[in-house]
Amino acid sequence: MKSLQRGQLKIANIIQDNGVLKGRGNIGRDIKRDKYLYLLLLPGIICLFIFRYIPMYGVVIAFKEYNIFAGIANSPWVGFLQFERLFRNPEFSRILRNTILISAYKLLWGFPAPIILALLLNELKNQRFKKFTQTVLYLPHFISWVIFAGIIVTFLNPTTGVINDIISYFGGRKIDFLANKRMFRSILVITDLYKGVGWGTIVYLAAISNIDPTLYEAAIVDGANRFRQVWHITLPSIRSVVVILLILSLGNILNAGFEQIFLLYNPLVYEVADIIDTFVYRRGLVESNYSLGAAAGLFKNVVALILIWSANHIVKSFGEDGLW
Amino acid sequence: MKNSTNKFSKSNAFDIFNIFFMIILIILMVYPFWHIVMYSISDVRLAMRGGLFLWPRGFSLETYRVVLKNPVVLSGFRVSVIVTVIGTAFATFFTATTAYPLSKKRMRGRTFFSLYVLFTMLFNGGMIPTYLLVKSLGLIDTLWALILPNAIHAWNIFVMRNFFATIPESLEESARIDGASDLLIFFKIILPLSKAVLATIGLFLAVGYWNDFFSTILYIQSRNKWALQAVLREIVTNTEMAMSRQGMSAVHRQTITTQSVIMANIVIVTVPIILVYPFVQKYFVKGVMIGSVKG
C-alpha cells in the first residue's frame, strides 16, 4: 500500500522495469510475435512525430533569419543574433518579470489552496453533501477561459458591472478594474484560483482515500484529536503527491497562463500583464517576426526544462521520490 | 468527562464552520452563472438597472432571438460540434491504441517508445514552429487544423497506459490460448473493460476541443469555419464591432444591449457542457483515480 502511494503519478514508472529482459526469445521472433502491438502503436507514434517532433526541429529558425519563401531549411543561419535581439529588446525584461511574478503569485496562492480545500472536504461527514460540493467545485475547470473572460468582463464592467454596483452601493467610487495596472495581476491570480482550486483537490482526495484507515483508528486510541490526525497522518501520507505536483508547478513557472491573459489584457495593462507567450504571439506571429518569436519560445522551453530537472534533483537530494 | 464533552463541542463547531464555508464556496461558484442566465432572459431595460440578480426582471427572449439568427454563431456551433465529435473519437481511439502496447512489458522497445512519448511532455517546439508546420502541411483554414495538432497528448497516453496495466494478464492469457491475436484481445477484451478511462479521457478531450478558441485564431481565416469559442471571444472583447457585424441595427439597440448579447452568448456556449457534465462526472472521478493514482 505504502509503495503504491509513493509511486503515484510517477511518470518514470512507465520506463523503469528492471528484469524484463529475462525469458525473452530472440529479437526477430519477439517482434514477429508482437507485430500487432507495433501496429497499434504506429499511428500514435506518427502523430507525435509530425505534431510534436517536427516543431522541435522547427525551432532551428531561432538560429536563422526565417524567410517565408525560402522555408525553414533554406533560410540563412544567423547564430545567436535572434537571441541578442530578444535580450536587447526593451520589452524583454518586462515580459520576463511579468511572467515570473504572475506565475509566482499564482503558485503562492494556487498551490496550497487545493491542499487545504481537500483536507476540509475530507472532513465533511455527510457523504452526499460532500459529493455535491465536489461536483460544483469541479465545474469551473470545464468552463473555457473565453466564457470566464466574458463573465469577468461583465462583472467588472466600470459602469454596469455587478462588482461596481456593490462598491457604489457602499459609497465607494467605481473602478475600471481591467484597465487598472495595480489591480490587474490580482485579478489574474484570483480568477485563476477560482477556476482551478476545486479541480486541484481531485488528486489530493484520491491520495487521501488511499490512506490505510487503521492508522486513524490507532491515532484515536492514542487520543489524537482531528487536527492532530490531519497533522500526523493525512499530511505525511500525501507528502509525496504534494512534492511531485510542486515539481511540476515549478517546471511550469514560465507558463503564466496564456489563454487567460490573452483574453483579458489590453494595451493599458501591457506593462504589468504582457508575458513571454503573449509576446511570442504578438511580436512573433502577428507581426511575422517568426525567428524572434521562435527564439523567445525556445528560451522559455529551455528554462522550463532546466527548472524541472533542477527541482527534481533538489527534491531527490532531500530524500523524496522525484519524477524520475 | 468534562474534558471530552469540551472536545466534542469544539469538533462540532468546526463541522458547522466547515459546512458553512462549503456553502459559501458553492454560492460563489454558482452565482456568476445564475446571474448571467437570469440577466439574459430579463427585459433589457429593467436589467440595465444593474445590481444582483436572483430572479429575472420581466421576461424577454429577444436577445436570444437576435443572437441565434446570427450566421456566425450558428456556423460556429456547427463547427464546434463537428470538431468536438470527430476530434474526440479520433483522439480517444488513437490514445488508446498508443497506450495499450506501452502497458505490455514483454514488448521490445517499450522503454524507447515510452521515452519518446515522455519527451514530448518535457519539451516542445512552441507556438511558431507548430504554426509553420500546420501551414506547410496545407492545413490552414481547414477543420483538420482544429483537430490534429491537439489530438495526441503524452499525459493522456500515460493515464490510459496506467489503467491498462491494472487489467490482469490472466484475462488475456486465456484468450490467447484460444488463439486470439493481440488485435482481437485489444478490441474484444481490453476496450470493453476500459469504459471508465475511455470516458474520462474522452471527456477531457471533448472539453478541450469544445473550449479551444486559440486554434481558430491561429489557423482559421474564413469566418464560416470559426469555432464557437472564437466567435464568443470576438463578441466579448469587441462587442461594438461584433454587433455591427452581426447586422444589429439601431432599432435592435433599444431592446438588446452589448451586455445582454454577451450574456446570451455565454449561456449558449456553456449549456452543452453543463448538460453533459453531471452524466460523465461519475466516470471521470473514477477514471482519474484509477489512471493517475493507482499507477
pLDDT in tens, A15-62: 444 444 444 568 888 888 888 999 999 999 999 999 999 999 999 999
Q: Count Cβ neighbours within 10 Å for each residue of A76-93 and write b for 16 or more, e otherwise.
A: eebeebbbebbeeeeebe
Residue A183: Cβ within 10 Å count: 17
* Same domain membership, residue A208 and residue A152: yes
- Amino acid B139: pLDDT: 92
Q: Tell me, rounded to whole angstroms, the distance of Cα A162 from its chain centroid.
A: 31
The three cell numbers of residue B117 are: 512519448
The answer to whether the Cβ–Cβ distance between B182 and A40 falls below 8 Å is yes
Which of A79, A104, A126 lies at the terminal end of a domain, its last residue?
A79
Alpha helices in B53-181 (DSSP H): 62-69, 71-102, 110-122, 127-136, 144-147, 154-165, 169-177
- A92, A75: one domain: no
Q: Which residue from A minimizes the CA distance to B264?
A: A150
Distance between CA atoms of B79 and A191, rounded to whole angstroms? 29
* Same domain, yes or no: A113 and A178: yes
Residue A163: Cβ-neighbour burial (10 angstroms; 0-12, 13-18, 19+): middle
Q: Do B236 and A263 touch (CB under 8 A)?
A: yes
Q: Domain for residue A265, yes or no?
A: yes
In a domain, A236, yes or no: yes
Helix (H) or strand (E) holding B246: none
> Across the interface, which of A20, A50, A298 has its CB nearest the CB of B126?
A298
- For residue A64, what are the β-bridge partners? A77
Domain assignment present for residue A24? The answer is: yes
Taking the CB of residue B253, how many other CB atoms lie within 10 A of it?
12
Domain count, chain A: 2
Closest CB to A147: pick one of B128, B129, B270: B270
Q: Are residues A90 and A67 in the same domain?
A: no
Residue B264 Cα distances to A151, B18, B250, B254, angstroms: 11, 35, 19, 16
pLDDT band at A295 (very low <50, low <70, confident <90, very high): very high
- Which residues in A lie closer than 8 A to residue B114 (C-beta atoms)? 14-15
Of A1-5, A61-65, A152-156, B205-209, where does mean pLDDT reach its minimum?
A: A1-5
Is the Cβ of B20 closer than 8 Å to some Cβ of chain A? no
Do A127 and A27 share a structural domain?
A: no
In a domain, A242, yes or no: yes
The predicted pLDDT at position B90 comes to: 96
**pLDDT score of B264 more than 50:** yes
Q: Assess whether A217 and A306 both reside in one domain.
A: yes
If one counts every other C-beta atom within 10 angstroms of the C-beta of residue B107, the result is 21
* Band (A2; pLDDT cuts 50, 70, 90): very low
Nearest to A124 among B18, B97, B269 (CB): B18
**Can you give the CATH number for the domain in which A308 is found?**
1.10.3720.10
Whats the size of chain A, residue-wise?
A: 324
Look up residue A7 and give its three cell numbers: 509511486
Answer for the pair B213, B79: CB distance below 8 angstroms, yes or no: no
Query: Domain locations in chain B?
Result: 1-60, 61-295
Which residues touch B145 (CB under 8 Å, ≥6 apart)? B134, B139, B215, B218, B219, B220
* Domain assignment of residue A176, given as a range: 84-317
Judgement on whether residues A148 and A116 belong to the same structural domain of the protein:
yes
Shared domain for A111 and A54, answered yes or no, is: no
Option in A50, A59, A210 nearest B293 (CB): A210
Contact A259, A170 (CB under 8 A): no
**Separation CA A5–CA A46 (nearest Å):** 34
CATH domain B61-295 topology: MetI-like fold (1.10.3720)
Grid cell digits, residue B145: 487544423
Report the alpha-carbon distance of residue B22 to residue B24 in Å, rounded: 5
pLDDT at position B265 over 70: yes
Domain boundary among A29, A54, A79: A79
Contact A258, A275 (CB under 8 A): yes
Q: Does residue A192 fall inside a structural domain?
A: yes
- Residue ending a domain, choose from A79, A94, A126: A79
Buried b (16+ CB within 10 A) or exposed e, B212-248: bbbbbbbbbeeeebbbbbbbbbbbbbebeebbeebeb
The distance of B120 to chain A (nearest Cα, Å) reads 6
Over residues B102-130, mean pLDDT: 90
Do residues B95 and A44 touch, judged by C-beta distance below 8 A? yes
What is the distance in angstroms between the Cα of A318 and the nearest Cα belonging to chain B?
Answer: 23
Which of A100-109, A309-318, B106-115, B277-286 is predicted least confidently? Answer: B277-286
Q: Which of A1, A37, A162 to mutate to test the interface with B (most CBs of B within 10 A)?
A: A37
Confidence grade of residue B100 (pLDDT, cut at 50, 70, 90): very high
CA-CA-CA-CA dihedral for A247, A249, A255, A256, to nearest 10: -150
Q: What is the mean pLDDT of chain A?
A: 85
Model confidence band, residue A186 (pLDDT cutoffs 50, 70, 90): very high
In a domain, A130, yes or no: yes
Whether residue A270 is contained in a domain is answered as yes
CA distance B202 to B220: 25
pLDDT tens for A91-129 read 899 999 999 999 999 999 999 999 999 999 998 888 899
A58 Cβ neighbours under 8 A, 6+ residues apart: A72, A294, B125, B128, B129, B130, B132, B133
In angstroms, the separation between the Cα of residue A29 and the nearest Cα of chain B is 11
Least confident of B4-13, B38-47, B273-282: B4-13
Whether B258 and B240 have beta carbons less than 8 Å apart is answered as: yes
**DSSP alpha helices (H): ranges in A181-289?**
181-209, 213-221, 226-229, 235-237, 239-251, 258-264, 270-273, 276-279
Coil, helix or strand for A108?
A: helix
Q: Which of B15, B101, B122 sits opposite A308 (nearest CB)?
A: B122
Report helix angle A239-251 to A290-317, nearest 10: 160
In this prediction, residue B216 carries a pLDDT of 94
Distances B187 to A32, B177, B192, B267, B275 between C-alpha atoms, Å: 20, 17, 7, 39, 30
> Over pLDDT 70: what percentage of chain A?
91
- Contacting A residues, span 91-110, partner chain B, CB-CB under 8 Å: none
Give CA B183 to chain center in angstroms.
Answer: 30
What per-residue confidence (pLDDT) applies to A13?
47
Q: Collect all residues of chain B within an 8 Å Cβ-Cβ radius of residue A261.
A: none
- For residue A137, is pLDDT > 70? yes
Retrieve residue A319's grid coordinates. 530524500
Q: How far apart are CA B154 and CA B187, in angstroms?
A: 22
Q: Taking 50 as the threshold, does the pLDDT of residue A3 lie above it? A: no
Q: How far is CA A14 from the centre of its chain?
A: 21
Inform me whether the C-beta atom of residue A294 falls under 8 Å from chain B C-beta atoms. yes
Q: Looking at the predicted structure, is the pLDDT value of residue A278 above 90?
A: yes
Residue located via cell numbers 466574458: A150
Contact between B148 and A51 under an 8 Å Cβ cutoff? The reply is yes
Q: Which residues in chain B are contacts of A211 at CB distance < 8 A?
A: none
Residue A3 belongs to some domain of the structure:
no
Q: Residue A11's beta-bridge partner residues?
A: none
A178 shares a domain with A54: no
Contact A183, A177 (CB under 8 A): yes
Which residue bears the cell 458553492?
A: B26
Q: Tell me phi and psi for residue B55, to 5 degrees.
A: -135, 160
Q: Which residue of B has its CA nearest to A116?
A: B18
Whether residue A25 sits in one domain with residue A111: no
Say if residue A279 is in the same domain as residue A313. Answer: yes
